[in-house]
Amino acid sequence: MKDVYILGIESSCDETSCAIVKNGKEEIATIISSQIDIHKNYGGVVPEIASRQHVKNITIVIEECLEKANMEIKDIDAIAVTYGPGLIGSLLIGLEAAKTLSFIYNKPLIPVHHIAGHIYANNLVKEMKFPLLALVISGGHTELVYMKEHLNFEVLGGTLDDAVGECYDKVARVVGIPYPGGPHIDRMAEIGNANYKLPIPLNDDSYNFSFSGLKSAVINLAHNLEQRKEELNKEDLAASFQEVVTTVLAKKVEKAIDEKNIKYFITAGGVAANLAIREKLSKLCDEKNVEYSFPAIRYCTDNAAMIAAAGYYYYLNNSFSNLIINAKSSDVLK
Ligand code: KG4
Ligand code: ZN
């Protein structure tokens, strides 16, 4: 079969990204323009500012990507783009750019669910094997997904309130760390001791998660110490929080591995960059004799290579869209 080159576009939040991926697994070029430096002044992503930055960046990012790959649009087989979920204004910029390229150059248009993209970041490291279990942990999502084959997503459970990354960012705020706090908490936890007692949330028999209670427990702990004029050990708090998060994630993953007879496990999303989570889950998989992979650290957070990788499998299925497709701020993975 001839090689297939997919150009991916991702703009669902605060990263404008374009990538070219060959045959769903080989990254040719990726450009990511991050807006973190702008949004961190506000303690989180400001949707209107994000959209305006995407407008500024999108054509430059696409041009740079083609240049880096030493390719022209005529060499591309299809355009894959994140249609949702995400910030509606941000999504629209990437989607309109993709539609325009598709229309002008007569290339098939492939809409990709953002979470499907995160999952397929793993395919760029090691070809995914089925049936598999995916733990999706990002700033907006916490989901356990079962896949019996490519593009077949069964959501086993998810968060009932906050996403795990959101919780990392809020805990970071409590200790005065700028957005996005996840990577900082990860590093602080490494040097701290898990001395603070925090509750294990939704420690039940379901595949669901809950992180808002844990977030409140951290806030209350910090307030109580402040009222008693006792010093908060930030590293110990980070370690205590991370210990609870890794425990609850591993517990639900273990349940799914056992009940679904899983032989292949992957993790996806921004929080999949977390070293303690990687360590805990790899240990669990080793014990259970389950093969596993993690995305490359740079492809845990939002990027277009993951969208192009997923897009390849839609391409093989001829799953193309016409130009009236709209962006969706929320949409179930299916
Ligand atoms: O996947 P992503 O870029 O955005 C969404 O689709 O939501 O994930 C961003 C999230 C942020 O909450 C960030 O704090 C978190 O991923 N994150 C981490 C780490 N690196 C990024 N959280 C914990 N440990 C990390 N090393
Ligand atoms: Zn994401």
What is this structure's pTM?
A: 0.95
How far apart (Å, rounded) are the C-alpha atoms in residues 46 and 114?
19
pLDDT at 42: 86
Q: Residue 311: CB within 6 Å of ligand 1?
A: no
CA distance 148 to 197: 39
140 lines ligand 1 (CB under 6 A): yes
Q: How remote is the CA of residue 254 from the centroid of ligand 1, in Å?
A: 22
The pLDDT, as a whole number, for residue 314 is: 98
How many of the other CB atoms lie within 10 Å of CB of 183? 18
Query: Using N-to-C axis directions, what is the helix angle for 234-259 and 275-288, rounded to 10°?
Result: 30
Q: What is the pLDDT of residue 127?
A: 96
> Residue 334 corresponds to which tokens in the numbers above?
């299916």
For the chain, domains (ranges, CATH) are: 5-120+299-316 (3.30.420.40), 129-294 (3.30.420.40)
Identify the three-state secondary structure at position 126.
coil
CA distance linking residue 312 with residue 5, whole number of Å: 8
- In the prediction, which pLDDT does 129 show? 96
Predicted confidence at residue 66, as pLDDT, reads: 98
State residue 39's pLDDT score. Answer: 87
Backbone angles phi, psi at 85, to 5 degrees: -80, 165
Give me the pLDDT at residue 37, please.
85
Residue 26, amino acid: E
pLDDT at 1: 81
136 by DSSP, 3-state: which?
A: strand
CA 283 to chain centre: 22
Q: Buried b vs exposed e over 103-113: b needs ≥16 C-beta within 10 Å?
A: eeeebbbbbbb
Confirm or reject: Cβ of 165 under 6 Å from ligand 1: yes
Question: Ligand 2 (ion): which residues have CB within 5 A?
Answer: 138, 302
All residues at 6 or more sequence positions from 196 whose CB lies less than 8 Å from its CB, including other chains? 221, 236, 237, 240
Say which residues have a Cβ less than 8 Å from residue 287's Cβ, sequence separation at least 6: none
Dihedrals φ, ψ of 17, to 5°? -140, 145
* The amino acid at 16: T
C-alpha 139 – ligand 2 centre gap (Å): 7
The pLDDT profile of the chain, 334 residues, written as one tens digit per residue, is: 899 999 999 999 999 999 999 999 999 999 999 888 888 888 888 999 999 999 999 999 999 999 999 999 999 999 999 999 999 999 999 999 999 999 999 999 999 999 999 999 999 999 999 999 999 999 999 999 999 999 999 999 999 999 999 999 999 999 999 888 999 999 999 999 999 999 999 999 999 999 999 999 999 999 999 999 999 999 999 999 999 999 999 999 999 999 999 999 999 999 999 999 999 999 999 999 999 999 999 999 999 999 999 999 999 999 999 999 999 999 999 8
State how far the Cα of 216 lies from the Cα of 7, in Å rounded to an integer: 42
Q: How far does Cα 323 stand from its chain's mean position?
A: 26
Residue type at 210 in one-letter notation: S
Query: In this predicted structure, what is the pLDDT of residue 24?
Result: 98
Dihedral sign for Cα atoms in the order 236, 240, 241, 246 = positive
* Residue spans of alpha helices (H) in 36-144: 36-39, 47-69, 88-105, 114-120
Measured between alpha carbons, how far is 31 from 62 in angstroms, rounded to an integer? 8
The reply to whether ligand 1 has any atom less than 6 angstroms from the CB of 117 is: no
